[in-house]
Structures are given as C-alpha cells and as structure tokens.
A and B are shown apart, each in its own frame.
Chain A
Amino acid sequence: MATKFDAIMARRGEIMRKALGMDYGEFELSPIAFDYERMMTAHGYSLDDIVGIQTRAGVGNTPLLELRNLTDLVRSISAPGKGARIFVKDEAANLAGAFKDRRASVSIHVAKEKGYEGIIAATSGNYGAAVASQAARNGLKCIICQETFDSRHVGQPEIVEKGRICESYGAEVVQMTVGPELFFHMVELLDVTGYFAASLYSSFGVSGIETLGLEIANEMRALTGADPTHVIVTHAGGGNTTGTARGLKRAGATGTQIVSASVDLSGLHMASDNDFNRKSFTTGHTGFGVPFATWPDRADVPRNAARPLRYMDRYMTVTQGEVFYITEAMAKLEGLERGPAGNTAMTAAVSLAQDLPCEATIVVQETEYTGAGKHHWSQLNFAKQMGVEVRAGDPKGNAPGKVIVIPESIEQIRANDFDVARMRKSYVRNALKNAPEGYAPTADDIAFLAVDTNTDTAAIEAMLTELKGD
C-alpha cells in the first residue's frame, strides 16, 4: 500500500509545476539532455533587470575589501615571491546577512509579479532569512520548512538561530526532526496553500547570484586594473559556484579560475539522527557539495539551475577545526566577525594563496552574518555538549563527529584537492542511471554531458566506455 509519503511524492510534478509557475518539460531534449541556457533565460530578465530588482530590494553592492593583514600573514609563511593578495566580498552586508538575499530577491519578485499570495522554501540555512526578509518587504506570506531537531528535540543552535530570525521577519517556521521528508512536507504545504515555491535551485534564484560575479569583476578591475586570477566559493548545493561563475563570465572575466571549497564532513550521514547534531556545520560541507555536484537533479525542481561541474576548475576541502581557526583570525586581524560556514572558502584561500605568486589575486566571494547560535564559539561549545572532543593540534587529526582539532599555528592550514575528474565520472554514471534502462546516449547527449561537466566529447566517450566495463 502506498504510504502518505509516496502519495504526495507521486503528485510532486504536478504540484511543483503550479508552485513554480513554469513547465520544465519544454526544456527537455532527451532522457539525458535538456536546454540549460534556455531554462536559465526563460524568465525573460536581463542581467540589468536583475540588478534593478536587487537595488530596489536593498540587495547587492556589498563592499569588496582587501585583507592586507591576512595577506601579509600568508606571505610570512610563504616561499619568497609567493602569497597572493586576498580580497573578500562582504556579503553579510546584504539586508538579511548573506549572499542568499540575491537568490531570494528574484524569486520573491517573480512570486509578486505572478500574483501568488505567499511563498514557501525548504531550508535550514541563511536562505530562510533572506526569503523571510524579502517576503516581509513585499507583503507576501512566508513559510520556511527547517530540519531543526534530532529525535530528542535537541536543536542545532545555528538552525535555531535561523528559525528565530525568520520568525523575527514574520515568517511561519515549520521545524522538523531529521530526514529528507522535509521536502515531502514542503510539497504538501505547497499543495494546500497554493503558494510559490522559492526553490534554492530554480533559475530565478541562481540568476540572482550572477550579479555577485558581475560586481566582483567590475570592482576588481577598478581596484587592481585586472580581473581576479582566482575566485573562491564556499560550495554546498552548487548555486553559489554556478551563479558567481556565470556572472563573472557574463562580465567578460573568462580567465578567472573558479575554485570551490567545502568543509570535509566525510564519514557523517546527512540523514542520520545520530550524526545530525555532530556535524558542527549546517552548510558549505561535502555532505551537500559532493552529492549535488555529481547529481544536481536530485533537487526539489525537475532540472536544477545549479550545475557546479560546468564551472568548477578545482574543488578544495578543509577541516572543521581549520575553519574555526580562520573565523577567529578574521575577527582579530581584519575586524570581520562573520561565519563560520561562510569562512570555508576563506580557509581554503589561506592555503591557496601560499602556492600562488604575489601578483595573483584571490577573491573570497562571500561572508555571512554571525550571532548567538551561529557563532564559532556556539558551535564548538555545542559540539562539546554532544560529546565531540575539541582539542588543539595538527588538523590532519580532525575526524568529523568525533574530534575537532584546532590548528596550533597558521602553517598547519593546508587544504586538500578533491578529485574533480572522479566527480565528473560519477555525474555521468548518475545521468545514465536516471535515464530509462538500456538507453544509449546519442551524439547530442554526449555533447550535453561534455558541457555539463566542463570536459569535451572525447572525455565523455572515454567515460562511457569505462562505465560500460564497470
């Protein structure tokens, strides 16, 4: 017998179509390929239009700051001639405190234009605050669905804080225990309310991030006379990497390397009631970063607008302890009390900058607001309460869920390179798995997969041959 869960999920396509106000069917080309660029531009807004929407929404044009103290600190431990200049885009200066405001502003604009009475988003992150804030400004009702508690009703303090801020902006916050059925309840609520689905992964949301890439290109040209050599992005579901990279390209910064960075949470299960309160990071981690890159269409929309493998040149991971150390350092050296999750890319930048010449420029493209619950001290005190050991030492000894090792010196911060080639192959395997059994990819499918993985048709053909042999 079909469960309540199965019954709603079976109607998911029809409910989402109504709640997104667009039919994704028109972009499908085959069981594997779809017209990504057509989907991204189907809303009809130019980049200038989106800049206008965001200006009216109080979003964007955040300060780009050069971190001279951090740069000199990195140079003090780098080989002669090494130590790139580090910059940061202070996205915490957005209305609700994170780059997510860019994402929310476009979705809320669309919901308002199309005449929806309210909006719903499933998010335990800063996106909830962004949606709630923009909804308040636009007079739209707002429901935020959060995964907040373990089965003992112990709340992760960062998510409890995000629930607080959403309620402060007048949203109805639906808080749940651990499990992916968060999306089931969101779909159920969309069905009963008829509200707009402010999905993190719609083309509206991801288009809203393109302005971040555009601003970085323009501001770096004004400051340094050139495009940044590297932009480093805290990577979770992939929207941040995708939107920022698209914006840079649209601004003509085609030579900028796109580096994604996540906190390594390997060994922890994202749907585990036991692991939930032992992660110490609610976003920016490999638990979202890897599965969403290798199969973006697992999202709550039929086709995910966030497709990071299209844009990512390199993927670096850092440990929990390293990010907490850099978060503390940022406050003390640069007067920027932010994060911690938003400082994941900053941590990887400290490692990357040591390997690059002094003339290179790295832009860390976000910060996020902090406060009680979110703050790195809150997270570490909570980790101790949950039985996680916190100690000083070599971050190589960090073991997610068991021990958080705070580095004893800046030299110990070294990011690891994650194998992007392996992720690309895994993506191709998932694309085949999600097509009907026995479906043979056509030449057009191979061309699509090449673009979707930032490779070429010869590389895809080699992967397909290899996968056949597996």
Chain B
Amino acid sequence: MTALSDATQAREGDWVEVECKLLDPDDRSKNLPPETAEKPLMMWVKGFAQGEAGMGDEVTIETMTGRAVTGALSAVNPGYFITYGDPIPELTRVGRDLRARLAAYRATEAAEATGGCGCGCGCTPAEGGEC
C-alpha cells in the first residue's frame, strides 16, 4: 500500500509517484546472485504530475530538484505506512527484570557498605538477628 486515498487518477499538479524500469535483467551487473539477476532493476520517484494520467499510464513528473522523469503512474498522494506494531513479547519483560536486578545489586552493595546482611534484601539486621 503506498497511498491511503483511493484516487486512481492524477490531475496536473498532483503530488504523485512514478515507476520506471532502469535495467532489464540482461543489462544488469554480472556479479549478482541468480535470484537478483533474473529481476529487472526498478525505480520509484515522487514529484508533481505534468498532466493527467490513470494508474499505470505514462506520465511525466517534476521532482523536487526540478528534474523531469517519465514513468508509469504508481500512486497519487503517496503516504508512509510504517508503524511500531505490537509490543514484542520476548522484550516486554526485559525492563521489569533488569530494574529488579539492578535494585537487588544496589541493595547488596549498600548493605555491604553499611555492614548489612548482604543478601540483597536491603535490610540491616540487628546483631545476631536474621534478615
């Protein structure tokens, strides 16, 4: 999905994307793995339509640098649909666990420094007492 709008027709001046084939498989670099070598090198670029066009029709655009690029209309008002997605279950516990470990370590250090029990519970037991 490259656009939320269901526009299939570009009017002159619309912000659009065009698709171009840069290299046929035979014209590609010779040092490619087979799964790449058998595909054409494709390119997409956005700009302002210089005329009216339907999806897949050839149209010339003026890009942000002022270049004229001609290709097949592939999107009108193209958007960005990247997300964060769901939290990752394998990661959600990391913060809780590490904060607990850090607190336990600091409690032990503090107890050792003040003559505490050193078990990590953070208490300073009375002489002979249990923590």
Interface residues of A (CB under 8 A from B): 3-5, 69, 72-73, 75-76, 118, 141-143, 148-149, 151, 153, 157, 160-161, 164, 167, 170-181, 184-185, 192-193, 269, 271-274, 324-325, 328-329, 331-333, 372-373, 375-378, 380-382, 390-392, 406, 409-410
Contact = CB atoms under 8 A, between A and B. Distances in A.
B46 to A, nearest CB: 7
Q: Which 6 A-B pairs have the closest CB atoms?
A: A332-B95, A373-B82, A381-B85, A76-B105, A406-B90, A141-B65
A160 B82 contact: yes
Interface of B: 22-23, 26-29, 31-33, 35-36, 39-47, 63-67, 80, 82-88, 90-91, 94-95, 97-99, 101-102, 104-106
B47 to A, nearest CB: 7
Contact of A193 (B33, B40, B67, B90): B67
Contacts of A184: 23, 29
Contacts of A392: 90
Given A5-B28, A157-B82, A76 B101 contact: yes
18 contacts: A72-B106, A153-B42, A164-B80, A170-B64, A175-B44, A177-B41, A177-B43, A184-B23, A272-B36, A273-B35, A273-B36, A328-B95, A372-B84, A373-B80, A377-B87, A378-B82, A381-B85, A390-B88
A382 B82 CA distance: 10
Contact of A332 (B23, B65, B98): B98
Contacts of A181: 22-23, 28-29, 41
A176 B42 contact: yes
A176 B43 contact: yes
B88 A381 contact: yes
A304 B104 CA distance: 50
A265 B79 CA distance: 31
Contact of B82 (A272, A372, A406, A410): A372
Contact of B95 (A4, A143, A164, A329): A329
A141 B47 CA distance: 14
Contacts of A391: 90
Contacts of B28: 3, 5, 179, 181
A332 B98 CA distance: 8
A172 B32 CA distance: 27
A181 B23 CA distance: 9
Contact of A377 (B23, B67, B88): B88
